[in-house]
Structure 1
Amino acid sequence: MALDFLAGCAGGAAGVLVGHPFDTVKVRLQVQSVSNPKYRGTIHCFQSIIKQESALGLYKGIGSPMMGLTFINAFVFGVQGNALRYLDNDTPLNQFLAGASAGAIQCVICCPMELAKTRMQLQGTGEYKSKSKTYKNSLDCLLKIHKKEGLRGINRGMVSTLLRETPSFGFYFLTYDYLTRYLSCEISDSYIIPKLLFAGGMSGIVSWLSTYPIDVIKSRLQADGVGGVNNYNGIIDCVQKSYQVEGWRVFTRGLTSTLLRAFPVNAATFATVTLFLMYMRSENNINECESGPAIQQANSM
């Protein structure tokens, strides 16, 4: 369990550093006004942020995920690894169930973290400009939301987060397990690193594609009220109003930047976690497991 925790921390930090700029672009595109859009697409959004806010603008709100991922990845990889060992049968269904359980549990931390990240990423932009609601950092953001709205405020979007994370993490770990087996990722393989990077990257893409429309709704609910006006009464209301105004394409808003981010982020995360667990195994354990899928060897600790 301790090694699962440490591996998750290392993988999470690597993933955040690689992927946060793409996440900033995703959120900006997801919540911009359809009647007066500020960005024409993913590339234009990247260019505009760098031009107007410098490259550091792409890392707005990074404090929240960087702090939260220490715990989130500990939960995700710790719960997934232990759930898989508890199920005692490494089948595709159990891989999905173990991943889904990990995704559900980490929502307790993920939801407030993403709320702060979203508010920070939108702060001072377009319709979200507001002198009276300026956050110094992610912690200050959560404290101010809690002071004004209480626990319910900092858990805004919890149901949509749960609906997104539970199945997506199931597909996440299932895809990674399948690909590492298919690619025969073994410790002795000289190409193990590119294979792990490919498996991790594809796992991230499959995971996001499985629940992306829910992520759009979650972002809109968490951004709602920033300008002082609440537009949505809940998930169903948000879905209906978003569809009525923008059509079905609204549920794919920001998908390009998300998928561009998903591959490198999850490639870095999964490869770091797997290699870390392999490295930390004792020499005797390595000798006992010289063949077989890398992820299976890592989870067998």
Structure 2
Amino acid sequence: MDFVAGCIGGAAGVLVGHPFDTVKVRLQVQSIDKPLYRGTVHCFQSIVRQETVFGLYKGIGSPMMGLTFINAIVFGVQGNTMRMLGHDTPMNQFLAGAAAGAIQCVICCPMELAKTRMQMQGTGEMKSSRKMYKNSLDCLARIYNREGLWGINRGMVTTLIRETPGFGVYFLAYDVLTRSLGCEPDDRYMIPKLLFAGGMAGIASWLSTYPVDVIKSRFQADGVGGVKQYSSIADCVRQSIQKEGYMVFTRGLTSTLLRAFPVNAATFATVTLVLMYARGVEKRPQDCESVQPTSHHTQIQQQAQPSSL
């Protein structure tokens, strides 16, 4: 049931957060010489005006497709790692989250590559005159035919650098916040507290790895127009700093932080409701044999982690 709840919660998070993610990617990869957007609000308004509201949901098929596999990997690795570590501590939560984040990159990297390419397709067009990709699967298939496995795993190094500490910080922040807030089963404000903790943990996670995400988006979007600018990740970093300075690493940050809280809130609310209706609140932790009798919030945390930050 945890797996089903996690998948449904993750889907809710994607539906809520994908428009913000589209804005983030557009801002991250736009040309500094000929910028299309002046900021987050202008980018949002421009996409809706030029491409209709559906433009905000370009590339949503890719994260939706990957949800099942990513949730299975994250929940399985995180739970097994916590059992191996034996004790429910904040540091173990970080290590278990980092392990889950690293392993799920196998699915996350190709998924985000297709998402980024789809989000960049038809920029500024109400109706694309020439679509390079029909959908996310077609996008991955075409990339594979041209560049092989190396092509569909483009950006894997940056994804690993982002996801490993990112998931670690997320699990750690959520654990610390739920402990501080005193999230217990008999607390009438338990769900609002969990939502707040999840949202703030998501923000903390993004802040800890955001510069890497900017480089990942640029590297994965490179070549969409037919011309590749970057020969490597290091070259992408060097050129980005040379042209735009260190502030380049904050491109799209506002949109990302606006997205982080509601995405995690939607995910946790959905997971909590599904679990409550399906079987009620568990009386004791199952995912990890904890020596702390008051760590019920950790069991909810392990059940309710979103598929992506």
Could you state the TM-score of these two structures normalised by the residue count of structure 2? 0.89
In structure 2, relative to structure 1, the CA distance for the partners of 1:122 and 1:94 (3 Å cut) is same
Residue identity opposite 1:286 in structure 2: K
Shift of 1:294: 4.1
Question: Could you tell me which amino acid in structure 1 is paired with residue 148 of structure 2?
Answer: G
Asked whether the equivalents of residues 185 and 292 of structure 1 are also in contact (C-alpha less than 8 Å), the reply is no
Moved more, 52-61 or 159-168: 52-61
Map 1:179-190; keep pairs closer than 5 Å.
Answer: 179-190=177-188
Task: Give the superposition deviation at 1:35.
Answer: 0.7
User: What letter corresponds to residue 17 of structure 1 in structure 2?
Assistant: L
Q: State, as a whole percentage, how many aligned pairs show the same letter.
A: 74
2:283 counterpart of 1:286? yes
The higher relative CO (CA closer than 8 Å, separation ≥ 6) is in 2
How many Å separate the matches in 2 of 1:222 and 1:184?
41
Structure 1 residue 120: deviation in Å? 0.4
* Other-structure match for 2:117: 119
- Among 3, 10, 13, the alignment partner of 1:12 is 10
Q: Deviations over 1:91-137 (max 9, x none)?
A: 1110000000000011000000000000000001269x997761111
* Shift, 1:165, TM fit: 0.2
The within-5 A match list for 1:257-272 is 257-272=255-270
In 1, Cα distance between equivalents of 2:280 and 2:122: 51
The amino acid that maps onto 2:34 is: N
1:295 aligns with 2:297: yes
Q: How many residues align?
A: 296
Taking a change above 3 Å as real, the CA distance of residues 267 and 296 of structure 1, as seen in their structure-2 partners, is same
Q: Tell me, yes or no, if structure 1 residue 196 matches structure 2 residue 194.
A: yes
What is the CA deviation profile of residues 67-106 of structure 1, one whole-angstrom value per residue up to 9, with x for unaligned ones?
1112112211232122112211111110000000000011
1:256 to 251, 254, 259: 254
Q: CA deviation at 1:227?
A: 1.1
| Shift, 1:11, TM fit | 1.8
2:289 corresponds in structure 1 to none
Residue 178 of structure 1 deviates from its aligned partner by 0.9
In the TM superposition, what is the alpha-carbon distance from 1:230 to its structure 2 partner? 1.2
Q: Give 1:64 deviation, angstroms.
A: 0.4
Task: Give RMSD over aligned pairs.
Answer: 2.4
Task: Look up the match of 1:36.
Answer: 34
TM-score (ref. length: structure 1):
0.92
Shift of 1:8: 2.1
Deviation at 1:54, TM superposition (A): 1.1
CA 1:237 to 1:186, structure 2 compared with 1: closer, same or farther past 3 Å? same
Q: Distance in 2 between matches of 1:229 and 1:259?
A: 31
- Matching residue within 74, 77, 84 for 1:79: 77
TM superposition shift of 1:193: 1.4
Q: Which runs of 5+ in 1 are unaligned?
A: none
Secondary structure of residue in 1 paired with 2:225: coil
Cα deviation digits, residues 231-276 of structure 1 (max 9, x gap): 1111111111100000011011000000000011012223433554
Q: Distance in 1 between matches of 2:216 and 2:284?
A: 46
Find 1:217's aligned residue among 215, 218, 222: 215
Counterparts of 1:86-105 in structure 2, within 5 Å, are 86-105=84-103
User: In the alignment, what sits opposite 1:238?
Assistant: 236
Over 3 Å counting, the alpha-carbon distance change for 1:300 and 1:100 in structure 2 is closer
In 2, Cα distance between the equivalents of 1:174 and 1:287?
A: 20
Q: Which residue of 2 aligns with 1:170?
A: 168
8 Å CA contact 1:274–1:294 kept in 2: the answer is: no
The 10-residue stretch of structure 1 (224-233 or 243-252) with the greater mean CA deviation from structure 2: 224-233
Gaps of 5+ in 2: 287-292, 304-309
Task: Check conservation: 1:26, 1:255, Cα contact below 8 A.
Answer: yes
Which whole-Å CA distance do the structure 2 matches of 1:46 and 1:86 have between them? 45
Indicate conservation of the 8 Å contact 2:46/2:124, yes or no: no
Q: In the alignment, does 2:48 pair up with 1:46?
A: no
Q: 1:5: Cα distance to partner?
A: 2.2
Partner of 2:69, secondary structure, is: helix
1:180–1:293: 8 Å Cα contact kept in structure 2?
no
Q: Is the 8 A contact 1:21 1:58 kept in 2?
A: yes
- Call closer, same or farther: CA 1:214–1:40 in 2, change over 3 Å: same
- Which letter does structure 2 place at the counterpart of 1:296? T
Task: Give the SS at the match of 2:144.
Answer: helix
